[in-house]
Amino acid sequence: MSDFRALHQIGNPFILANAWDVGSAKFLAAMGAKAIATSSSAHGYTLGLPDMGHMTRDQALAHAQDLVSAVNVPVSGDFEDGFGADPDTMAETVRLAAEVGLAGICIEDTELPSTHPYDFDLAVERIAAGAAAARALGTDFVFVARADGVMNECYDLDEAIKRLQAFEAAGADVLYAPRLASLADQEKVCKSVSLPVNALTTGELTKVTLAEFASVGVARVSLGGTLSRAYHTSVANMARAMFDEGDFSSLSGAMSGGEIEKLLKAGGR
């Protein structure tokens, strides 16, 4: 069992910290992250791109490889819909992800760049192809299947659960329905399947503690693009004060360069 797979314990969740560049990955590792993940939205923002289907597979792979090379903890890839509808494309994406050193990837059921879900049967076939490719690698690789219809307001929680149960039967290792409305909905998802479940800290679930996630059976809590958005929010607030009011006082509490450099060194290889 890989170190990454071993972290996934039902009712004892770890925090999967989504980074957006080498510096943030090293910083988060130094601060205590047990594993790092890419984030399609957070990475996209660094390139001036919007979220959902605007990045190429080669861009995602190169970015993932940079993070793998930068830190000593496992790295998982947010690889959107696998960069193609065809199940064979999904399988190739899994193989390429493993080649750059990722410990696993997360695949959603949305036909990007739209917000429409793949047809149920095709969604399951795609997950089966990805899971089979992961098992054939010869290395331990954690394949995560996402049902994104609740987040995208395309289907309800019952449909999400139906899909997650089918993804479990198709061979996924971890299951994930992002942006649920409440902890009660998260608990319903966890109880509907037997595999480890990922929860996303966004919206109402940012008010939930790690202990509360544990109490409903969550195995992993990811940040998605939320930490990156919080970073951008802080910069926006300081920029408004500077450019609109000529006020630089918000910069006074900034960490020193030495403190940051010390953390970057501690979090890197």
- Assess whether pLDDT exceeds 90 at residue 4: yes
- Assess whether pLDDT exceeds 70 at residue 53: no
Predicted pLDDT at 186: 98
| Other Cβ atoms closer than 10 A to 140 | 17
- Assess whether pLDDT exceeds 70 at residue 148: yes
The predicted model scores a pTM of 0.94
Mean pLDDT throughout 202-206?
93
- Assess whether pLDDT exceeds 80 at residue 2: no
Predicted pLDDT at 49: 84
Predicted pLDDT at 253: 87
Q: What is the mean pLDDT of the chain?
A: 95
Name the burial class of residue 198, with classes exposed (0-12), middle (13-18) and buried (19+) by CB atoms within 10 angstroms of its CB. buried
Query: To the nearest whole percent, how much of the chain has pLDDT over 90?
Result: 94
What distance lies between CA 91 and its chain's CA centroid?
Answer: 19
Predicted pLDDT at 156: 97
Q: Which comes out higher in pLDDT, residue 47 or 166?
A: 166
What distance lies between CA 219 and its chain's CA centroid?
Answer: 14
Predicted pLDDT at 83: 95
3-state SS string over the chain? CCHHHHCCCCCCCEEEEECCCHHHHHHHHHCCCCEEECCHHHHHHHCCCCCCCCCCHHHHHHHHHHHHHHECCCEEEECCCCCCCCHHHHHHHHHHHHHCCCCEEEECCECCCCCCECCHHHHHHHHHHHHHHHHCCCCCCEEEEECCCCCCCCCCHHHHHHHHHHHHHCCCCEEECCCCCCHHHHHHHHHHCCCCEEEECCHHHHHCCHHHHHHCCCCEEECCCHHHHHHHHHHHHHHHHHHHHCCCHHHCCCCCHHHHHHHHHHHEC
* Count: domains in the chain: 1
Predicted pLDDT at 223: 96
218-238 pLDDT per residue, tens: 999 999 999 999 999 999 999
Tokens of 164: 């997650």
- Assess whether pLDDT exceeds 60 at residue 1: no
Mean pLDDT throughout 49-78?
92
Predicted pLDDT at 60: 95
- Assess whether pLDDT exceeds 80 at residue 141: yes
**CA–CA gap between residue 91 and residue 129 (Å, rounded):** 6
Predicted pLDDT at 51: 72
Of the candidates 107, 117, 128, the one whose C-alpha atom is nearest the C-alpha of residue 156 is 117
Domain range for residue 74?
Answer: 3-267
90-136 pLDDT per residue, tens: 999 999 999 999 999 999 999 998 999 999 999 999 999 999 999 99
Residue 225 sits in a domain whose CATH number is 3.20.20.60
CA distances to 5, 53, 146, 202, 256 from 151, in Å:
26, 16, 11, 11, 38
